[in-house]
Amino acid sequence: MAARVLRKSALAQTAAPLQLPLAVVPVAPAGTLTELWLGVHLPQPQADPLLLQRLAMLAQRFTPRVSLEPPDGLVLEVKGSLALFGGVSRLYRAFRAGCQAAGASPVLTLAPTPLAALAGGRSGISFKILDQQHLVSAVSPLPLVALRWPPQVLQRLSKLGVYRVGQALRLPRAGFARRFGREPLQMLDQLVARSVDLRSPFRVPERFRAKRQFVREREDHAQILQALQPLLQQLAEFLESRQCGITRITCRLRHRNDVHTDCSVRLAQPEAAAARFQEWFAERLSKLTLPGPVRSLELRSGELMSRAPVHDSLWQPGEHGGGGEAGTLSGSLEFIERLRMRLGELAVHGLICQDSHCPEGASRPLSPQDSAFRRGAATVRAPSQDPLRPLWLLEEPQLLQEREGWPQLDGPLQLRHGPERIESQWWQAPGVARDYYHATDVHGIAVWVFRERQPPHRWFLHGLCG
């Protein structure tokens, strides 16, 4: 009987017109309001993925207590900043003006709890709740969808006729926790300030940036590298104090007439040693052709990454188990970095296998900066269908000459194995329908060729065997 009464009451409330608090509630006496949160909600998907981060940096001008709620919101606690900005209205207008200058038109809400401020913005309501005594009555009409509970919880509540926050607050707590879990119940308590809502603070991503102006212009690469050395030492100290490393660093060389040259270094693993940076920049600068004398240089780091200090083994390699896998991997990455510096970043990369019947789609290049590369997932293994497939594939299959229907490559080819029939990507136009053969040319070089199964049945060279 009680369940029926509850269901009938809930349905009656949902049928009633929604009355939302749009006006400012009178401020309570001093000391009643312990916190005041400003919620920022972006109502539509933003084209700029960094807009939310820029708004968080703007919010730090008003208070240090800023928390991100990706992908479309953030909250900031402004109770302690009201006296600095001349009250709620002036702070509210100043923050809105900053958002508009950043190219955003968010929904702004003020409430005593961060979750209430977020829920109001997600509902599209720009309200201001400045009295904690009015909090429950103000958030009761809000839809439960604004709390972003799991879909299955919202679906089960909708079967009971519960769609609004106020309806959920009136349900028995023990039964609610038993049927829907403790997390939704805890969020309701945080919404109406029955429990503390702890938020992770937003911190601006740290990056290193230093600049040096020359009294006299410099043209020699050795002089430029010598001038860069103090900045690299500052960068090393900056990283060491934070136990971090970087995989990308750029030195911008400025010339006359606002012309600049960028010299970038990308590393396979996080690094923090000034000597290593200087070594890589020496390689890069030696290959640069500068358009003119250098007036100044600026050093910029990429994103800071956590770095575990590497210690040399007590034993020499091969002695009492010295030279483990960690040292081998570190040495391999250093060797890869050196090759990329001298041959170019595109000339040295790893390979990782993919699920594809089409040979050109069975693998993809892998950069040393990729986490899968450092985990050792970039080992090259042949597809399981045929262990004799070559690893060296041409970027585009090369059309072969024919003589009496037989493929020619500096002479007639001798077919050794095949055919291996591959038909794939039939859903695309055109699909792949080929018969592959292992062959050798007149010089004894092993190649991988295929013949089209559809007219005109041409022959192509696709791979070379080692």
Residue with tokens 């055109």: 430
Q: pLDDT value at position 25?
A: 39
Residue of 66, 59, 47 whose CA lies nearest to 96: 59
Task: Give, to the nearest 10 degrees, the angle between helix 221-241 and helix 274-286.
Answer: 150
Judged by DSSP in three states, 400 sits in coil
Q: Is the CB of residue 99 less than 8 Å from the CB of residue 106? A: yes
Q: What is the DSSP letter of 206?
A: P
Q: E strands within 57-146?
A: 66-69, 73-77, 107-111
Q: State the pLDDT at residue 391.
A: 73
Instruction: Tell me the torsion sign for CA atoms 331, 367, 273, 260.
Output: positive
| Residues 6+ away with beta carbon under 8 Å from 117 | 37, 38, 39, 75, 109, 110, 111
pLDDT in tens, 401-450: 888 888 998 888 988 888 888 887 666 656 788 899 999 988 888 899 99
Show Cβ contacts of residue 78 under 8 Å, excluding neighbours closer than 6 positions. 36, 37, 38, 62, 63, 91, 110
Q: Please write the tens of the pLDDT for every residue from 140-190.
A: 999 999 999 999 999 999 999 999 999 999 999 999 999 999 999 999 999
Using one digit for the tens of pLDDT, what is the confidence trace for 294-322? 999 999 998 888 876 555 555 565 555 55
Cα distance between residue 163 and residue 167, in whole Å: 7
Say what the pLDDT of residue 158 is.
93
Q: How many CB atoms lie within 10 A of CB 201?
A: 10
Tokens of 332: 């391999």
Q: What is the DSSP string of 334-399?
A: HHHHHHHHHH-GGGS-EEEE-S-SSGGGSEEEE-TTSHHHHTTTT-----TT-TT--SEEEEEEEE
Return the H-helix or E-strand segment holding 92. helix 88-101
250 DSSP β-pair partners: 264, 300
CB 105 within 8 A of CB 72: no
pLDDT under 70: residue ranges of the chain: 1-32, 46-49, 308-334, 341, 344-346, 355-357, 361, 367-387, 425-430, 466
pLDDT, position 383: 44
Q: What b/e string do you get for 244-268 counting C-beta neighbours within 10 Å, with b at 16 or more? A: bbbbebebebbbeeeeebebebbbb
φ/ψ bin of 311: left (φ > 0), alpha (ψ from -120 to 50), beta (otherwise): beta
Which tokens is 156 given? 């089960």
The SS3 call for residue 450 is strand
d(CA 200, CA 65): 9
**pLDDT value at residue 330:** 54
Task: Concatenate the DSSP letters of all residues of 9-65 into one string.
Answer: HHHHHHHSPP----SPPPPPPTTS----EEEEE--S--S-TTHHHHHHHHHTTT-S-
